[in-house]
Structure 1
């Protein structure tokens, strides 16, 4: 059983609640796709120009390693995450027009994501994360 928390940051500028919930749904799809190795679902949650960055796998401390959408979908297809039933917290910090920011906390990773709404759908365009030790 997954223990989920969700939060819309009510201290942020007045957000359209429906848009904030749509952003949260895409972020949850992203996390759930990774955990269940669902490459199609992962593909739907990511913008074609996704850049995912981390300090966790950098060759030189302080550098960032980078993953593209194509790589992320392939990584999902071959195994995805380790803890499919672990707790997830998603906080939508800000939605303004066609851009948004959110934060994800799991036992494996903290993620900071930026999204864009294109062709009527929210997609993740940037993810900065680190692996917890």
Structure 2
């Protein structure tokens, strides 16, 4: 039985490795880095290049008055404006900001990525459309969950 499971695991891993090219892996990482780097050094064009036009970015926050959680949503347009305005003074990130990209799963047309930055974690879904990888979903939270209140 163990040999059978090992064989299936090897076959599945081999199939997954064939589902993307090394260029795809580089492009996926590049898109995830463009997302964060466009905020480090304000660059709305870089942010726009990384985002699918239908991007939705979500997180859960707490409304203290109502004592109720709610889901916040931002869209591609909001993120492009954020990239232009968030760090204009250069005071939002450390001198050498953290930007760790972990490829969680990659297939022929979709990928899941975890981006670990200084103050937050982003889980991203990235799609390949017309030969280009673009971020279509982001689910994020602050490392300090008290900031969600």
Taking structure 1 as the reference length, the TM-score comes to 0.82
Structure 2: segments with no counterpart, 5+ residues: 1-12, 145-149
Structure 1: segments with no counterpart, 5+ residues: 1-11
SS at match of 2:81: helix
Query: Which residue in the other structure is 1:24 paired with?
Result: 29
Distance in 1 between residues matched to 2:68 and 2:121, nearest whole Å: 18
Cα distance, 1:61–1:104 mapped onto 2, change above 3 Å: farther
Alignment length (residue pairs): 122
Distance in 1 between residues matched to 2:84 and 2:68, nearest whole Å: 29
The structure in which a higher percent of residues are helix is 2
RMSD between superposed Cα atoms in Å: 2.1
- Per mean C-alpha deviation after superposition, the further-off stretch among 80-89 and 66-75 is 80-89
Distance in 2 between residues matched to 1:26 and 1:74, nearest whole Å: 18
Query: Which residue in the other structure is 2:130 paired with?
Result: 119
SS at match of 1:63: strand
Taking structure 2 as the reference length, the TM-score comes to 0.74
- Greater radius of gyration (CA): 2
